Structure 1
Amino acid sequence: MKKIFALFLLALSFTVFSADSLAQYSGDEVIGIWETPGDDNGRIEIFKSANKYYGKIIWLKRKGENGEVLTDKNNPNKALQNRPIIGAEILKGFVFNKDEDRWEDGEIYDPKSGNTYSCQISLQDKNTMKVRGYIGFSLIGRTEYWKRVK
């Protein structure tokens, strides 16, 4: 009886691991529309171009004063300070690392500060994406969890 119970527990432990937790991704799972967290959230469309992944802002909760279009006024490149934030590419040049199941070697741009950071992306599950922006080492930075919209 003890052996049967032990076998049952062993079999049960294998079913606890879902397909998502053991999945090896192909890379394109990150493509889609993702919503950022917080009161001032937005939506980012992630797409692939020439085997790299990029993301652009397609919607913002925050609106400009008197209905004005929000511009990228904090961009360090003066030529870009008048461009609308909606449509701005904020994720650039990510490469999928299949051994680590993450997207890396990319950058994330923060239009609020005008700063660009190194970044890594990983999926927690098919609808939750971990976005880690950092300076220098990934230990020093900020993590956000974005939710899939589409």
Structure 2
Amino acid sequence: MACRFGAIIAIVAALLAAPAAKAQAGGEVSGIWLTQAGDAKVRVSKCGGGICGVVVWLRAPSDPATGKPQVDDKNHNPSLAKRPIIGLPLFSGMQPAGPSKWSGQIYNADDGNTYASNVSVAGPDSLRVEGCVGALCGGETWTRAGR
């Protein structure tokens, strides 16, 4: 009988713990996130009722050819093409779109284009960032860079 009682306690304990684990799954969006490729860190913070994201670190902060800081040279607007990548805002108009989810636009410095985007907290240390062109969407998972 003692074995069955122990099993019942374990099942009850698991059921009681389950809601707490689910509540933590969303996590907090604010913080510094490492991109999936590991080549940049982005500081995400709450701003204007939504969220903002700014590049704060690059694995290769300098252009190998010139030795100067990386700039937004793929930007189609010549007046923006000389701004540094570190400090570059990536998110625009990111407004709440559900629990732990925001929708707006994301700038891709790799091609100089802005895309419709969704950002969602997938766990305490996991951020899903998606961009779309029409119906074609792709994304990556960023990880929290320390606490």
TM-score interval (norm. to shorter) = 0.7 to 0.9
Distance 2:82 2:34 in 1: 24
Check conservation: 1:90, 1:108, Cα contact below 8 A.
Answer: yes
Q: Secondary structure at the match of 2:79?
A: helix
Aligned position for 1:94: 94
1:11 corresponds to 2:47: no
Check conservation: 1:93, 1:105, Cα contact below 8 A.
Answer: yes
Unmatched segments (≥5 aa) in structure 1: none
Aligned position for 1:120: 118
Q: Deviations over 1:97-118 (max 9, x none)?
A: 3xx3233231111101111111
Q: Among all aligned residue pairs of Structure 1 and Structure 2, give the percentage whose two residues are the same amino acid.
A: 27
Aligned residues between the structures: 142
Aligned position for 1:76: 76
Distance 1:122 1:70 in 2: 28
Distance 2:19 2:140 in 1: 23
- Which letter maps to 2:91? L
> Considering only aligned residues, what root-mean-square deviation do their CA atoms show, in Å?
2.7
Within 5 Å, which residues of 2 pair with 1:44-55? 44-55=42-53
- What TM-score, normalized to structure 1? 0.78
Check conservation: 2:25, 2:124, Cα contact below 8 A.
Answer: no
CA shift in 2, pair 1:20/1:120, >3 Å: farther
- What TM-score, normalized to structure 2? 0.80
Q: Secondary structure at the match of 1:67?
A: coil
Cα distance, 1:122 vs. partner?
1.3
Q: Deviations over 1:5-61 (max 9, x none)?
A: 996686366357363434596xx921111110225x100011222212110101101
Q: Deviations over 1:100-147 (max 9, x none)?
A: 32332311111011111111111121111111111234xx21111111
Unmatched segments (≥5 aa) in structure 2: none
Aligned position for 1:35: 34
- Which letter maps to 1:31? S
